[in-house]
Amino acid sequence: MPADAPPGGDAGPARRHGLSSEDFDTLAGGGGDTGVLSLLWEAERSHRLLLLDLFLDLLAKRPEALGPLPAADEAWQLLLRAEGHDRAAVEDLLLRPETGLWLAPVLRRLRGEADGAAPADVAPGTDAPASGIPLWADVGQFHALAAAAALRAGIDFTVVVPARHGTVELPSLGRAVLPGTYGRGGQPIWGCAQVTYGKGEVVVTLGGRTVRSGGRGPGVGWEAARTAVLPLSGTDAAVHLDDLGCQRIVPTPASLPPERLSGEEARRWTDLLHEAGPLLADADAQSARDVAVLLRSVEPLPAPAENERLSSATSGDGVGRLASGRPANALQLAAVLAHEIQHSKLAVLMHLYRLYDPDDASLFYVPWRDDPRPLRGVLQGVYAFTAVARFWQGRGRRPGIDEESAAAAHFEHALWRRQLLRVIRDVQQHPGLTHLGRRVIERLRETITAWELPGPARQPSRTMAEDAADHHAMRWRLHHVAPDPTVVRTLARTWPRRLAPLDTGEPQLRPDPDVPHLDTVTALYRLRLTDPGALEKAVGAPQAVTALVPDATGAELLQVLGDVEGALELSTAAVREGPGDTSSWACFALALRGQVLQSRPEVARAVYEAVRDRDGKAPDPVTFTAWLDGLAPMC
């Protein structure tokens, strides 16, 4: 369990792992040398073994959870035999992210049923979770883990393991694909397969069908695990390219086994990883060190379609793993590596120490998402995107980098620096943070503010970044923040007179479930920095704008191209015609720079629309904004 005790103190005999105050602060700020990172792995090892012990204890109380599979003790004894022959191989298997991605959720599931409550992933009236995995098959992954451990240790064995849709997975090694059409024609989706190893051969049998293989090499019906290499400053990090395993960050639908990457797609991933390693090491030595020590596996997701945003993810259950769509290039992958490995670092820190109150229900603005996020998500995001900002700062300073690439890197660094400091300002004193959580936020703030902003020669990149950050924040407020209705009514009655200054009351957070992508201006600025000709061709052609960036508008395009007057004209017309969409209001605010409009756009829009509804006609937006600012200080 995470500790409340501060680092460096006497945590008592029950706490085998802890960090010195200095090491905690180093990690809290996003850093850490190889020794500190190794301490994290040691802590994660103990965490993983504790979960395994809890799993076995629960299973001893609920042997029926294994259904048609043999008793757990059979798999446990096989695991112990394997450890006796090759302890390092077994420990490596237990510490793999895929083991954690199975163990933590199945433990939560067993705990829920053991407490007399239906597990959260079980749909009413069914005996399988919403993911489609029956409990016995989920729990029975322990038998497959034992089989993989024994195979890696090179000892003879026979064990019964779960099979799904005619496949049998041996974690970290590969899977057997048995002939037959499963789920149709009478073949069962779930079943029990026998795995035998002897004389250097693996035999997998299911329903009279058999696959034979050398275990790690090729064989008819056997698909071996893939490995890629990341060269990182003289160290080659071997990474499991996991396109076979069912223990995933992003589950496959209806519990179907993952579809294996084609040979060509696997080569693309391997090449990208090989190219991304040196790029990461050149730009960000810290992230390269983190990846070298912590990264174990990559879970490929479908490549994004044209103009779709790249998605990536990690899980605190699977420390050392990342899931990502295939990036467009190695530089984008290097940034993903810097981002996602930082999540793993903080996940281990959260396993060691309590950083926030898990019962706190507060929601916050974060620029990396379009929806409000809980405190845990804020902590994880600030920590991870600090590494992203650091990566782009290093990239922009790289000797010999061309002007276009340097401008793009400085934009990214300035963007994330501004956005991170905005989030830190909002959350740093929140009561839902523990003392140590506030310490993490403070160390991150110190790290970020210590970075130098781009000099005068880079002012255009900085200005673009400020516009992009402010546009996203304003649109977010327009979607998710409702102004005080009393203030809106009072201001609407006041228009166009000038009375005593009024405050904005107490705005309420009301999450909009249909919020669209809000980073359209950011995406357009990125295009301006990499392909300005494409933007210029789209001027005056709405369909061409949305073909470049879905949901982008003509006013946003003109703002990004520096035509402020044109952007103001288009956004003013859109606001006047109403009801103004969030993009029009945010773009209008960028062009006009009104005080209230930028800081409380939801108030400005609500009052404007109330006046229009009352008078039957819309006021001139520019005159209205000047009037509203005349009532300041309001915010």
Q: Classify residue 27: in a domain, yes or no.
A: no
Per-residue pLDDT band for 309 (boundaries 50, 70, 90) equals confident
Q: Which two tokens stand for residue 164?
A: 């799904």
**Is 80 exceeded by the pLDDT of residue 10?**
no
Token pair in block for residue 196: 């035998």
Q: At what angle do helices 403-427 and 459-480 cross, to 10 degrees?
A: 40
pLDDT in tens, 342-359: 999 999 999 999 999 999
Lowest mean pLDDT among 13-17, 18-22, 181-185: 13-17
DSSP 96: S
Task: Verify that 216 and 332 share a domain, yes or no.
Answer: no
Across 139-154, average pLDDT: 97
What are the C-alpha distances in Å from 209 to residues 70, 168, 218, 257, 511? 21, 12, 18, 18, 53
What span, in angstroms and rounded, lies between the C-alpha atoms of 177 and 163? 10
Average confidence (pLDDT) over 65-92 = 96
**Identity (one letter) of the amino acid at 30?**
G
Better-scored residue on pLDDT, 248 or 3: 248
* Beta strands per DSSP E along 395-511: 481-482, 508-509
Query: Cα–Cα distance between 122 and 131 in angstroms, integer?
Result: 8
Strand ranges (E), 317-413: 321-325, 363-364, 373-374
pLDDT at 195 over 80: yes
- Whether residue 24 lies inside any domain: the answer is no
Q: Tell me the HSE value of 542 on the side-chain side, using a 13 A CA sphere.
A: 4
Same domain, 204 and 245: no
Task: Identify residue 113 by its one-letter amino acid code.
Answer: E
Q: Where would I find the beta strands (DSSP E) of 221-285? A: 222-224, 226-232, 235-241
pLDDT of residue 189: 87
358 and 447 in a single domain? The answer is yes
Q: What is the pLDDT of residue 456?
A: 72
Model confidence over 455-486: pLDDT tens digits? 777 889 999 999 999 999 999 999 999 999 99
Q: What is the sign, positive or negative, of the torsion defined by CA atoms of 321, 326, 327, 333?
A: positive
Tell me, what amino acid is at 530?
T
pLDDT band at 84 (very low <50, low <70, confident <90, very high): very high
The verdict on 591 and 500 lying in the same domain is yes
Claim to verify: residue 278 and residue 376 sit in the same structural domain: yes
Residue type, position 125, single letter = G
What's the confidence (pLDDT) of residue 186? 61
Q: Name the one residue in this structure whose structure tokens are 């390269």.
A: 288
Asked if the structure places residue 545 within a domain, the reply is: yes
Which residue, among 284, 271, 287, 397, has the nearest Cα to 337 in the 3D structure? Answer: 287
- Asked which of 189, 224, 259 is the last residue of a domain, the reply is 224
Question: Which range, of 6-15, 520-529, 621-630, averages the lowest pLDDT?
Answer: 6-15
pLDDT at 632: 67
The verdict on 262 and 197 lying in the same domain is no
Q: Say how far apart CA 545 and CA 94 lie, in whole Å.
A: 50
Q: What is the pLDDT, as a whole number, of residue 306? A: 76
Residue 113 has pLDDT above 50, yes or no: no
What is the reported pLDDT for 9? 45
Indicate the average pLDDT of the chain.
90
Where a domain ends, among 401, 424, 454? 454
Residues 478 and 588 in one domain: yes
Q: Give the chain's length.
A: 635
Based on the fold, state whether residues 434 and 554 are members of the same structural domain.
no
Burial of 217: CB neighbours in 10 Å, binned 0-12, 13-18, 19+: exposed
Whether 623 maps to a domain, the answer reads yes
Report the chain's terminal Cα–Cα distance, integer Å: 42
Q: How confident is the model at residue 106 (pLDDT cuts 50, 70, 90)?
A: very high
Amino acid identity, residue 459? Q
Classify residue 6: in a domain, yes or no: no
Please say whether the beta carbons of 366 and 378 come within 8 A. Answer: yes
496 CB neighbour count, 10 Å cutoff: 10
Give the pLDDT band (50/70/90) at residue 126.
Answer: very low
Domain's final residue, options 163, 194, 224: 224
What per-residue confidence (pLDDT) applies to 162?
96
The answer on pLDDT for 118 being more than 50 is no
- Residue 188 has what pLDDT? 80
Give the C-alpha distances (Å, rounded to integers) separating 373 from 143, 369, 480. 38, 8, 11
Number of domains into which the chain is organized: 3
Q: Which residues, 6 or more positions from 633, have their beta carbon under 8 angstroms from its beta carbon?
A: 501
Residues 612 and 473 in one domain: yes
Mean of the pLDDT values across residues 504-510? 88
pLDDT confidence of residue 631:
79
Q: Which residues pair with 232 in a beta bridge?
A: 235
Per-residue confidence band for 183, with pLDDT thresholds at 50, 70 and 90: low
- The predicted-structure confidence for 548-600, as pLDDT tens digits, reads as follows 999 999 999 999 999 999 999 999 999 998 876 899 999 999 999 888 889 99
DSSP, residue by residue, 501-549: -------EE---TT-----HHHHHHHHHHH-HHHHHHTTT-HHHHHHHS
Contact 144, 153 (CB under 8 A): no
DSSP-assigned letters across all residues of 77-117? HHHHHHHHH-HHHHHHHHHSHHHHHHHHHHHHHHHHHHTTS
Retrieve residue 291's tokens: 């990846």
For position 56, what pLDDT does the model report?
96
Instruction: Assess whether 365 and 480 both reside in one domain.
Output: no
Domain that holds residue 594: 462-630
The residue among 126 and 598 whose pLDDT is bigger is 598
pLDDT, residue 502, reads 63
Tokens of 415: 């963007």
Mean pLDDT over residues 102-124, rounded?
Answer: 63
Rg from Cα positions in the chain: 28
